[in-house]
Chain A
Amino acid sequence: MTLFYDKYSSALYGVILRIVKKEEIAEDVLQESLVKIWHSFQSYDASKGRLFTWVLNVSRNLAIDKIRSRQYRVGSRTQPIEESAALRQAATPTFRPEHIGLQEMTTKLAPEQKQIIDLLYFGGFTQSEVAEELNLPLGTVKTRARAAIKVLAKLIR
């Protein structure tokens, strides 16, 4: 687990912090994630996807559960994501080949695409909630989300 921590903690912590926005809560969630990963490891099915995807989703779901369980959203919803503490700290440079810089990614994404991805992926919003939040038709939200992910997928193609 120590090896696991050293390999994944930075990425998981970054995502969790992005979602919960508070460092001490991010630490709690990271720990809960490790416990959950440990206990449910046998349910990981390699044929369904990469380990990293699975691990990431465990942590992301826990983090989203966390912000939904608290009265959290009231305050953070109005806070623009770009101003959250997570973004003010520069991402640590790493040398993983699969790691594409945030800067590069965001320049490839249109602002409205990025906004939707962030709400869906880091905000724990459903698509209809995003539509409500942004005052857009649900169809538009879906189209933009798909387009955004296609862009991301293309980046690593």
Chain B
Amino acid sequence: MNTQEYIESGILEEYALGVLDEAQRADVERLAAQYPEIRQELDLIQHGLDSYAQAHTQEPPAGMRERVLAGWQAAIHQGATTSATELPIAPVAETVVRPISSAPQEEIAPSGFNWMMAASVALLVLSAAANLILYNRWKESETQLVALQADQTRVASTMQAVEKRLSTRTQELAVLRSEQFKAVELAGTPAAPQAKARVLYNTATKAVYVDVRNLPTLPQGKQYQLWAMDKGKPVDAGMLAAATTAGDSLQLMKNVANAEAFAMTVEPEGGSENPTMETMTVIGRF
């Protein structure tokens, strides 16, 4: 065989370009293996094309190295687990460049891009569903929160009222137990023999408390008024509140500088300057 002629024929260039069909390619490889000068020429041609390709060398963008290597690693691991028995891919030399007519119009095998697309859509749907669920839960929680807040406010105000009553009672108890207070029993006058009350008088602080045991109910527009008798003169010691009159609790009255007796009269609402003696209900002295 005339190798020089074969080399001149240009088939080696076509081989290097990958435009030969499979039979022709096998032929070239066989001859190259057989004749060193063909091999040498083919190497030279391939080297020339390689250099041409290499002349297009382009530094990949930053970050691509990591992505590509990670993707490669993922792909070979996946391949190792799912198809360990997969046949090795056909030698590259046999990879045929298909003519356009036989090239598939649509991609059959899903590319990485399509997978990413599908994954994105799936993630979007999942995310939307999760959002809906979370939105509903959030709404529910909000309703519950409002209810609980109302409840809490109610409990707090109740608590406050209880607290206030407790402090009142504690104060009353302190007054009752205090040794500084002198108790004056007020007995009913002939006008109201059943009436009974008590005055607690602190001679040091001049504080006066009234503790009603039993007082006749008053007509509309009337109120009990407490008087302190100081050297025979009545001194106004304040009006009794309705709750005090009913015997509900102790009531702090006006301070009284000095007193030898206390009495209560029925006066028009708001009180009078001087007591109406005829309506005196209870009286008591130290």
Contacts and interface: CB of A to CB of B under 8 A. Distances in A.
Interface in B42-72: 42-61, 64-65, 67-69, 71-72
A68 B100 contact: yes
Contacts of B46: 49-50, 53
Contact of A1 (B57, B72, B79): B72
B57 A94 contact: yes
Contacts of B54: 11, 14, 96, 98-100
A101 interface: yes
B60 A30 contact: yes
B33 interface: yes
Contacts of A56: 50, 53
Interface stretch (B104-112, B153-161, B196-204, B208-216): B104-112
Interface of A is mostly: helix
Interface stretch (B12-20, B228-236, B263-271, B276-284): B12-20
Interface string A135-156: 0000000110110011111111
Nearest to B39: A47
A39 B89 contact: yes
Contacts of A17: 56, 58
Contacts of B146: none
Interface of B: 10, 13-14, 16-19, 29, 32-33, 42-61, 64-65, 67-69, 71-73, 75-76, 79, 86, 88-93, 95, 97-100, 103-105, 107, 111-113
Interface of A: 1-2, 5-6, 9-11, 13-15, 17-18, 23, 25, 27-28, 30-32, 34-36, 38-40, 42-45, 47-50, 52-54, 56-58, 60-61, 64, 66, 68-71, 73, 86, 89, 91-92, 94, 96, 98-102, 105, 117, 120-121, 124, 126-127, 129, 142-143, 145-146, 149-157
